[in-house]
Amino acid sequence: MERKTIKVAELIDKINYLLQSEGPHVTEGYREGLCDIAEIILHRTDNYRGYTYIEWKNGGCRRWEEAGKPEPADEYMYGKYGKFGRYYINLPAMLKSKAY
């Protein structure tokens, strides 16, 4: 097979998109596998900058604060996506889009 390359930022954008997808095929194991792949790639290329949770990023933090910051915050942090509903920090893509 011919060797090809792909930009890490593009791949992480795709993984972030897939982690937010829904449907019968999207199980906790599916999301866990995507997270494993993302973390391997990001660590091996020295691009790991952490992650946040999709639900937290999409209003969970605000709802948690409005509710008086109850503990545990799992409901507001994980939501319908579960603990593998992660959004990986993709610094090159963020800088390119000025979304920081």
- Look at residue 3 in the predicted model and tell me its pLDDT: 77
Q: Where are the domains of the chain?
A: 8-93
- Look at residue 19 in the predicted model and tell me its pLDDT: 97
- Look at residue 100 in the predicted model and tell me its pLDDT: 42
pTM comes to 0.83
Query: pLDDT tens per residue, the chain (100 residues)?
Result: 787 888 899 999 999 999 999 999 999 999 999 999 999 999 999 999 999 999 999 999 999 999 999 999 999 999 999 999 999 998 765 556 654 4
Paired strand residues for 87: 52
